[in-house]
Structure 1
Amino acid sequence: MSHADEQTQEVEALEAIYSDELEWISRDYPTICFQVNLNSQNDENEESSSDFSLSLQLSFPADYPSVIPGIEIEGLEEVFPQERIDKIISDLRAVAEENLEMPMAFTIISALQEQIGQLVDEMKTEKERAIEMKKWKEDEAQRKKFEGTRVNVESFLAWKDKFDTEMRALREKAVAAEQAALAGKLTGRQQFLRDATLSLSDIALIQEAEDNVQIDESLFEDMDELDIEESDED
């Protein structure tokens, strides 16, 4: 059987199996190309956040099935990283290599459907991991709010030195403020205690007064003429 006949028969079988999923890109030999639209939803009545759709594109070279078909996948770019998509295509090519000289489109499509089940599980696991990571980060942020800075010997001594310095500064400031407030309003005792030289001020004033007092001796010249009665005791 020629390659053209083999491809024609396989295409007819695929149309019967995937009547709703198959779309033609080119139907004429030797450039037969089509895509099969698949999705991850097992039950049409149930949808979940892990559902996705994809298209498997197969192109038959003229000498297919003696060589593997061209294999491309579209629709997973927003769901999985390119590295994961390349791995899927590599696995499908390996399946094709194992089935050379035989119609292999159905086998490739079935292998991809099995991969879809694994992809769904991977998505669920990744979402669960993302939820757990988010919760862990939130809990960690809350713990940090209440933990504050961890204290060790070095950090405590540094804090105490800073605290003592601040307290000394506050006490000195308070004393200076009190002295400023009392300036000019001190009692005699307070002034005496603050400046001992003030205790000599009264003596100095008395001495200065004595030096400046002048006595008029003429007032006492007639003292002998005064008749001063002596007391009985005298």
Structure 2
Amino acid sequence: MDPLEEQQQELEVLQSIYPEEITVLDPSTYTIDIGLDVQPKGQCVELHVKYPKDYPEVVPVIRIVRGQAAEEDYDSDEEEVEETLDYEGEPVFLDAEDYAELTSKMQEVAEENVGMASVFAIASSLKDEAEELHASKVRSNEQKLEQARKAVEDEEQKKFVGTPVTPESFAEWRKGFRAEMGLDNIEAEKVKARGGKMTGKEIFEKGLGGEEEEEDMAGLALE
């Protein structure tokens, strides 16, 4: 069949499938707006197609951009939109990098279908790939949001967690505290005034453990 005839037949079929979505610029050039089943609603991608003279024996020239409705006229349930916000609180949309990735993937689909009319296959694959890419961005943003929340919670939790106390750290603190308050000098004066003997309380507070000290404390208790 003559390439021009095949192109004309494919275009007629596409016009019957996408009566509202297709815009024919000339017999070999047209665009198709493909709506996506995502949140926020109203997002679509626009497939640009141009037939080379030998199509379908060669791949069509394709380009994928953001559809006119995307980000401008979307309408969604508020609760559903909230579930698809990015980690900065904005609705999730495909960006320029995503459209470049979609164009590359659709070129692969076109190459797989060389020799036959391929635009419908490209349009169908584009819808699936775009929706999956959007879902992937939503999942990624949910993970980022959860990580951000956890980081905030961890910082808040640090306010309620003190430094663990060990015997060594307590002894060091106690030594510094007694030196700062001059307690050792005060007690030394008291002991000197009593002829060199300490009370049981003083022995305990100075941490002088041991059997001999326990005997001293017992003797002091009897005095």
TM-score tier (shorter): 0.5 to 0.7
In 2, Cα distance between equivalents of 1:49 and 1:162:
63
The structure that has the greater radius of gyration is 1
Deviation at 1:114, TM superposition (A): 1.7
Q: Give the 3-state SS of the residue equivalent to 2:47 in structure 1.
A: strand
Q: How does 1:121-132 map to 2 (within 5 A)?
A: 121-132=135-146
Residues 170-189 of structure 1: per-residue CA shift (max 9 Å, x gap): x9xxxxxxxxxxxxxxxxxx
Q: Unpaired runs of 5+ in structure 2?
A: 72-91, 186-223
Q: 2: distance between equivalents of 1:3 and 1:60?
A: 10
Superposed, which structure 2 residues align to 1:46-85 within 5 Å?
A: 48-49=39-40, 52-75=43-66, 79-80=93-94, 82-85=96-99
Partner Cα distance (2:136, 2:57) in 1:
35
For residues 96 and 178 of structure 2, what CA distance do their matches in structure 1 show?
61
The CA deviation string for residues 150-174 of structure 1, in whole angstroms up to 9 with x for no partner, is 7789987887787567546xx9xxx
- Structure 1: how far apart are the matches of 2:43 and 2:177? 62
Distance 1:19 1:135, change over 3 A: same
User: 2-side partners of 1:155 and 1:34: how far apart?
Assistant: 78
Shift of 1:107: 0.9
Q: Which amino acid aligns with 1:4?
A: L
For the residues of structure 1 that align with 2:181 and 2:42, how far apart are their CA atoms?
A: 66
**2:35 counterpart (34, 39, 49):** 39
How many residues of Structure 1 are paired with residues of Structure 2 in the alignment?
Answer: 162
Would the aligned equivalents of 2:64 and 2:103 in 1 still touch at CA under 8 Å?
Answer: yes
What one-letter code is carried by the residue in structure 2 that aligns with 1:119?
L
CA contact (8 A) 2:93 2:134 kept: no
Deviations 1:94-113 (A, max 9, x none): 11111112111111001112
AA at the equivalent of 1:143: Q
Secondary structure in 2 matching 1:56: strand
Whether contact under 8 Å (1:21, 1:38) holds in the other structure is: yes
Unaligned runs of 5+ in 1: 43-47, 172-234
Partner of 1:115: 129
* Letter of the 1:111 counterpart: S
Q: Residues 120 and 84 from structure 1, CA distance in 2 versus in 1: closer, same or farther, beyond 3 angstroms?
A: closer
Normalising by structure 1, what TM-score? 0.56
Q: Report which structure shows greater RCO (CA 8 Å, sep ≥6).
A: 2
Q: Which has the higher helix share?
A: 1
Letter of the 2:108 partner, please give it. A
Cα drift, residue 141 of structure 1: 1.9
Q: Which amino acid aligns with 2:99?
A: I
